[in-house]
Chains A and B, each alone.
Chain A
């Protein structure tokens, strides 16, 4: 019998791992089959337990060359000749198989990445299926997209994706590329290769012609081999601004088309007439979703001075209810940091934040003893000059700044080389529209944050990269652009 005011402790509610079958080792997916790489291998681990999950091939230059050749062959002989309608049907098939195997993907992603099952199950995987479904429908309608009557594909796309949304970033890359008639060589991130390799199985189940999708695993060297391969027509990269710049330099003087989706330091602006409770949710979602491993994370809170105390009190109260722990527990809100390396970076910047004089606060939370963990953290008393207000931390760390007038808020928000996203909270419609028009960012979430949809273009201004993914705009990077007049 329940006693009065006894704490309501949620019992463990772990999602079963039995649905996934992780093999001891994986080869490369080239030309429709898994082959042994000629390079070394590396281990992928579960960041929540540090358990070794599998041995992964590190694709060598020669392996990458094989993959590009397979993609070229598939492009020339099959994929570029196929009607858009037929290409679309393959993508519809893939979308459906992902839906059918959704739980498997969600569990595997959660294990390999460390993110909560709640997010893989409710966000990542459904959005992946939706993305394939969306672009499937474009494949036979490209002539209506505004890029000429009969826009042509580019050829072979080399795609390099990050570890924060492994399967979702794969979908963002592969779906539009294939819809437009390109073939792909994709490299998943070193720390999160497993769902991409499971996706390779989906390609097999869908009877996708061999070579249309090639998955090569590896680290930076493999990525460079893809980017610099002379027979790659298009490079698509999501990841750090530093690597993005290196890619932009590497393709200089070539005919390769490039899209880059890079870092951010988004401002989330809360005006004094905001819907405060929803704004607090938006702040939490903005920085603690996916452990803050989000390029568009709302990592700078700009709150109007007159309500700063109230918002911070509510934010801290809300943060006390965040549940950090086992990614496979269905009640976990914040999972593991993806790697020891990333954890070290978050710790370092947080220590710098303290050393610079900002005040650090985290709710009391018991972190597991193995694995990589960082508690949800806010810094108050941050100024624009602090490194934690300028550099992307890519972790669950929020820098709080205040402002007095709308103009000041916008100036501070825009005072960064980044420009990926921004948030605005106010109940005043004209202020929302004004602020949205002033912010130099590719995505502006007003009275919401971190919403994603296959129909909605995503991408940055300034050093957050160029090109858009999603929506009609997401076709442009994969089509020759000489048709549009």
Chain B
């Protein structure tokens, strides 16, 4: 007789822990073939609130780490993910009706994207900042700083989609709350397990699974959230509502829309959630 599988309970990832939704709710997730896969936690507004609190608490530490250190941590996520390639491939094939080769392409691209951003951590300031030649006896320079806490609605694409929106946001020192793809939340939690074992401080990335339409408005209107990435919002009315809600504290908002994820990513995945700080100082004796 075949051995009975030990199935995994998929929970949320908040502040480095894996809690169930405080609401006690879950929703069934099916495989591509329609069979039951697992129950995902269905996050509530209070889970979203807790996730924002965790992200805010992590911001000071994460944003003031050296860029080199942040790069190392993100590279470490790639390393740990690499060791789980087979698992991710299997999950992608279960989630989406794709071939093994396709699954491998997405997994490799996701891991390579992490490596790509790991290398960006200590380059971005030089690329988008610099000295400004003002007409006076002043040292004047501009440098990017992270906006703060960014709420992200991840696109479809259980792994590469998630990595493509989360990695650029945290590379520059932001912390985030990400709502995983609603139909494909489970890989996001597997990736969270990778992050939880990759030197990434708890709270830098917080993963919620559940209903975008239910959770996103709470994040969009939350006054302690500084940025909103709507990449994964597919309903234009919802996107407009979220953008309107985000106006209340002038969140930096990236509107819906997804580039070809296998192509080199656009720079504004990072720059949208960066502030430019310009510092002046007189030069004299």
Contacts and interface: CB of A to CB of B under 8 A. Distances in A.
A and B touch in the complex (CB under 8 A): yes
Interface of A: 130, 146, 241, 244-246, 248-249, 252-253, 255, 260, 262, 417, 419, 432, 436, 441-448, 451, 453, 455-459, 461-463, 465-466, 468, 471-473, 481-482, 484-485
B134 interface: yes
A462 B138 contact: no
A471 B132 contact: yes
Interface centre among B132, B243, B249 (most CB of A within 10 A): B132
A473 B250 CA distance: 20
B250 A451 contact: no
A484 B266 contact: yes
B282 interface: yes
B266 A444 contact: no
B239 A471 contact: no
B267 A445 contact: no
A339 B144 CA distance: 38
A456 B250 contact: no
Given A448-B282, A456-B134, A481-B268, A252 B243 contact: yes
A262 B250 contact: yes
A76 B226 CA distance: 37
Contacts of B267: 481, 484-485
A485 B275 contact: no
B277 interface: yes
B136 A441 contact: no
Interface string B64-75: 000000000000
The 3 closest A-B pairs by CB, nearest first: A253-B240, A248-B247, A252-B243
Contacts of B241: 252
B135 interface: yes
A456 B278 contact: yes
Nearest to B137: A448
Contacts of A481: 266-268
B249 A462 contact: yes
22 contacts: A245-B248, A248-B243, A248-B246, A252-B243, A442-B277, A443-B278, A443-B279, A447-B282, A451-B134, A451-B136, A451-B138, A453-B132, A456-B140, A456-B278, A466-B250, A468-B276, A472-B130, A481-B266, A481-B267, A482-B266, A484-B268, A485-B266
A245 B226 CA distance: 14
Interface in B224-275: 226, 236-237, 239-241, 243-244, 246-250, 252, 255, 264-268, 275
B121 to A, nearest CB: 17
Nearest to A484: B267
B113 to A, nearest CB: 13
A465 B147 CA distance: 12
Contacts of A244: 250
Interface in B154-201: none
B128 A146 contact: yes
A446 B280 contact: yes
Given A458-B278, A484-B266, 19 more contacts: A130-B135, A246-B247, A249-B243, A249-B244, A252-B243, A252-B247, A253-B240, A443-B277, A443-B280, A444-B278, A446-B279, A446-B281, A448-B281, A453-B134, A463-B249, A465-B250, A468-B276, A473-B142, A485-B266
A262 B134 CA distance: 23
A462 B226 CA distance: 7
Given A447-B281, A473-B142, A466 B252 contact: yes
A459 B145 CA distance: 13
Interface string B110-143: 0000000000000000011010111110101010
Nearest to B267: A484
B264 A457 contact: no
B159 to A, nearest CB: 22
B226 A252 contact: no
Contacts of B226: 462
A122 to B, nearest CB: 13
Given A249-B247, A417-B249, A482-B266, A441 B138 contact: no
Contacts of A245: 247-248, 250
A265 to B, nearest CB: 15
Contact of A457 (B127, B147, B276): B276
B276 A456 contact: no
Contacts of B136: 451, 453
Max chain A Cβ within 10 angstroms of own Cβ: one of B268, B275, B278: B278
B257 to A, nearest CB: 10
A277 to B, nearest CB: 14
Contacts of B278: 442-444, 456-458, 471
Nearest to B223: A417
A473 B15 CA distance: 35
A246 B244 CA distance: 9
A446 B284 CA distance: 13
Nearest to B248: A245
B187 to A, nearest CB: 26
Contact of A444 (B135, B244, B246, B280): B280
A79 B62 CA distance: 46
Nearest to A432: B281
Nearest to A446: B281
A453 B276 CA distance: 16
A456 B267 CA distance: 22
A252 B244 contact: yes
A253 B239 contact: yes
Contacts of B268: 481, 484
Among A248, A444, A446, chain B packs the most CB atoms within 10 A around the CB of A248
A465 B130 CA distance: 22
A252 B240 contact: yes
A482 B130 CA distance: 22
Contacts of A443: 277-280
A424 to B, nearest CB: 9
Among A262, A444, A456, the one with the most B-chain Cβ atoms within 10 Å of its Cβ is: A456
A427 to B, nearest CB: 12
B252 to A, nearest CB: 6
Contacts of B248: 245
Nearest to A452: B134
Contacts of B133: 455
Given A252-B240, A465-B250, A444 B279 contact: yes
B127 A442 contact: no
Contacts of B246: 248
A146 B280 CA distance: 23
Given A146-B127, A443-B280, A481-B268, A462 B250 contact: yes
A212 to B, nearest CB: 27
Nearest to A126: B135
A457 B275 CA distance: 11
Nearest to A441: B277
